[in-house]
Chains A and B, each alone.
Chain A
Amino acid sequence: MQAVVAGLEEAFDKAREQCPDRCVEVYFRFAGMPVRFRAIGRELAGHVSRALSHLEAEAPGDGRFELDIALWDARDTGVPPPCGPLAEVPDENEEVARSPDDALIVQSRSQSVIALDRRRRRIVGCAAYGDRGPLLHELGKPLQQLLGVWYLDHDVPLIHAGLVARDGKGVLVGGTGGAGKSTTTVACLLGGFDYLGDDRVGLCGVGGCFVGHSVFNSAMFFEEHLARFSALWPHVVAPRHACDRKPVVFLSEAFAERVAASAAIAAVVVPRFVAGRRGSRVHPASAAATLLSIAPSSVVFPLGPGRAGLSGVANLLRTVPSFSLETGEDITMIPACLDRILDRVAAS
C-alpha cells in the first residue's frame, strides 16, 4: 500500500515537472479548515473544483493546510498512474483498499485512482476522464468518500442530510434516499433560503451547539423531480454516460449569493411526500423517530462515519427540536413551512 501511494506521489511530481503550465492551484476552507488543491490539467481542475467552488478561500498566511490535494490528468499530461492505464469508458466499478492500520486508503475506479494518506492529510491521485468528463455522481460529489474520511478525522462526520438556512439559522433536512431532501432544499433556495447542500452535510458540535458545514454546492435529482424547478433548467448538466442516473445542478453557478459555507442548526426536519396532497404541513416529531430516519443511511455506507456519525446525530437531536414535513404537489409552500419551524424555535 505504501508503495502504491509512493508511486502516485512520484507520478504527480513527474506530471508537474513535465507540464508546469497546466498546473492549477486553488485554496479552499472545508469546515473552516485550510485546504490546498492542485491539479495538473485544467479540465481536471474544473471537474473536481466545480462542486467545491463556494468554499474557495485565500491561501493561508502560514502556508499550512489541514488537507493537501494533488491530482493529475493522465490523458492531458501523458503520465499514466503506476497501476497501469485507466479505462476509456467509465463504469461504476470501484475498489477500495486500506492499509492494515487504515492510515492509507486507495480508491480505484474505472477512470481514476486516488489515495488518502490520513496521517499526512494528503490526497494524491490521477484521473483520465474522456471528452464527456467524469460520471455525474463524481462530478457532483467529487472525492466524496475520501473527503468523508478526512472530515471524520477532524470530528466533522458527514451526515446524509441537506441543509438550508435563513439569517444563519439552519434547518437540517434528513431522510433516506427518495424522502425529498433535494426537493425540499432546492425549493427553500428558490424561496429565499441559503443553500448548504442536498444530501451531505458536515456536522460539528461545539459547546452544546451544532454547526452544519456545506461540502458540495451541487444538487442531484431524478429528471421527473427536476421538472418542477424551471429556474434550474438552464444550469442542468444532463447525463452523459450510460450509467449516469441523475442530472446535476451546481447551485453556486445559478445562485452564487445564496450558497453558504456553514450555519448553526436550529431544527431538524424529515420530509415525506404525500401523494394527492396539494400543500405542505409540519408536525413535531420525536427525536427517536427522527434518528431512525436519518441515521442508518448516514452511518452505514462504505467508509461512512459509523458510530461517530450516529452519536453526532443523536446529540444534535437531543439539543434541537425535530419535525416531520408532509409535502404535496405544490412545492412553493415548503419554504413557508420551514420558516414556521424557525419562528417556533425562536419563540421557544
Chain B
Amino acid sequence: MITPNSRVVLNEEEVAAEHLDGEAIIINLANGSYYSTAGVGGVIWGDLAKGWSLAATCRHVADLYDVDARQAERDVVEFVTELLNENLVTHQGETTDQQYASAPAEAGFPPRDREPYAAPVLEAYRDMADMLALDPPMPGLKGLDWKPGTPDNSRDG
C-alpha cells in the first residue's frame, strides 16, 4: 500500500516518458497503453522522475497549489497508487528522505501566490494496447557497442 513514506520509482524498464510544457506523456512500451497528465499530475510525475520521495512531492504540491497539506497528501497518494496499478512506477519500500524543503517566505515579501488547485488526473489511452493485444510489442532492442563509419559488411567485391 502506498503511503507518503513510500519510495516510488519510475518503471524505467518498460516505460518511456517525456515532459512538455508541464504535461507528462507516458508510454508503456510493454503493452502499448499511453497516458497524459498535466497540472498537478505533471508536477508529481516530474518529481518522481527526479527521484523525489512522496513526502517531498506532497510538500511540493502543497507549496505550488492552493491546497491544504492533508488534501495534497491524499491526492498524491491516490494518484501514485493509480500509476502503480498501471505499472508505470514501482514501489520500493519506505524512505525518510527529505529532498525537498518548502521554500521559506522571504523576509519583507508576501508569500508567493499559489496556483488554483485541481486534483491530479491520469488520462489513459488503450487504442494501441487493444491493437497490439493479439501481437504484443517485443521487448525493446538492445543497443550495440559500435558506431557507424566502420562497416564490416563487404564479403566480396
Q: A287-B20, A304-B137 are in contact. Are A120 and B144 (CB under 8 A)?
A: no
A171 to chain B, nearest CB (A): 19
Q: Are B141 and A152 in contact (CB under 8 A)?
A: yes
Chain A residue nearest to B37 in the complex (CB): A288
Q: Please give, as numbers and ranges, the residues of chain A lying within 8 Å of B38 by CB-CB distance.
A: 288
A68/B16 in contact, CB under 8 A = no
* Complex Cα spacing A33 to B154, Å: 16
Q: From the candidates B25, B32, B144, B148, name the one contacting A292 in the complex (CB within 8 A).
A: B25
Instruction: Specify the chain B residue showing the minimal Cβ separation from A123.
Output: B153
Measured CA separation A118–B148 after assembly (Å)? 11
- The distance from the CB of A226 to the nearest CB of chain B, in whole angstroms, is 23
Task: Look across to chain B and name the residue whose beta carbon is closest to the beta carbon of A67.
Answer: B153
The range of chain A's interface size is 35 or more
Residue contact B148 to A153, C-beta cutoff 8 Å: yes
Q: Does A115 belong to the interface (CB within 8 Å)?
A: no
Measured in the bound complex, the distance between the Cα atoms of B32 and A311 in whole Å is 16
A301–B29 alpha-carbon span in the complex (Å): 9
A348 CB to nearest chain B CB (Å): 17
Most interface-central of A297, A300, A310 (chain B CB within 10 A): A300
Among the stretches B55-63, B97-105, B124-132, the one at the interface with A is B124-132
Interface SS of chain B: helix, strand, loop or mixed?
loop
How far apart are B24's CB and chain A's nearest CB, in angstroms? 8
CB <8 Å contact, B138 and A96: yes
Q: In the complex, which residue of chain A has the Cβ closest to the Cβ of B17?
A: A310
Taking A63-B154, A296-B34, A303-B138 as contacts, is the C-beta distance between A317 and B128 under 8 angstroms?
Answer: no
- A295 touching B27 by the CB < 8 A rule? yes
A303: chain B residues at CB < 8 Å are: 138, 141
Contacts of B17 in A (CB 8 A): 310
Q: Please give the distance in Å from A252's CB to the nearest CB on chain B.
A: 27
Name the residue of chain B whose CB is nearest to the CB of A120.
B153
A296 with B128, Cβ < 8 A, contacts A33-B148, A120-B151, A307-B16 known: yes
Does B152 interact with chain A (Cβ within 8 Å)? yes
Residue B23 interfacial (CB < 8 Å): yes
Known contacts A300-B32, A318-B20: does B128 contact A118 (CB below 8 Å)? Answer: no
Contacts of B137 in A (CB 8 A): 300-302, 304
Identify which of A286, A299, A317 contacts B16 (C-beta below 8 A): A299
B20 & A317 in contact (Cβ 8 Å cutoff): yes
The smallest C-beta distance from B16 to any residue of chain A, in angstroms, reads 4
Q: Contacts A299-B29, A300-B27; is A122 near B128 (CB within 8 Å)?
A: no
**CA A154 – CA B153 in complex, angstroms?**
15
B153 and A68 form a contact (CB under 8 A): yes
* B36 touches A (CB below 8 Å): yes
Known: A296-B128, A300-B29. A65 touches B153 (CB 8 A): yes
B109 on the interface (CB 8 Å rule)? no
A271 CA / B135 CA spacing, docked (Å)? 27
Chain A hits for B106, CB < 8 A? none
A250 to chain B, nearest CB (A): 27
A269, CB-defined interface residue at 8 Å: no
CB A95 to nearest CB in B, in angstroms, measures 11
Contact residues in A for B20 (Cβ distance below 8 Å): 286-288, 291, 314, 317-318
Cross-chain contact A306 with B152 (CB below 8 angstroms): no
- Distance in angstroms between the alpha carbons of A102 and B144 in the assembled complex: 8
In the complex, chain A residues whose CB is within 8 Å of the CB of B21: 286-288
CB neighbours (8 Å) of B155 from chain A are: 9, 122
B141 neighbours in A (Cβ, 8 Å)? 98, 102, 149, 152, 303, 306
Determine if A77 is an interface residue (Cβ-Cβ < 8 Å).
no
* Residue among A117, A154, A291, A304 making CB contact with B18, cutoff 8 Å: A291
Question: Measuring CB to CB, which residues of chain B are less than 8 angstroms from any residue of chain A?
Answer: 16-18, 20-23, 25, 27, 29, 32, 34, 36, 38, 125, 127-128, 132, 135, 137-138, 140-142, 144, 146, 148, 151-156
8 A–B contact pairs at CB < 8 A?
A: A13-B156, A63-B154, A121-B151, A121-B153, A122-B153, A288-B36, A292-B34, A295-B27
- Known contacts A304-B137, A307-B29; 13 additional CB pairs below 8 A are A63-B154, A102-B141, A121-B152, A122-B153, A176-B127, A287-B21, A288-B20, A291-B18, A296-B27, A300-B27, A301-B137, A302-B137, A306-B29
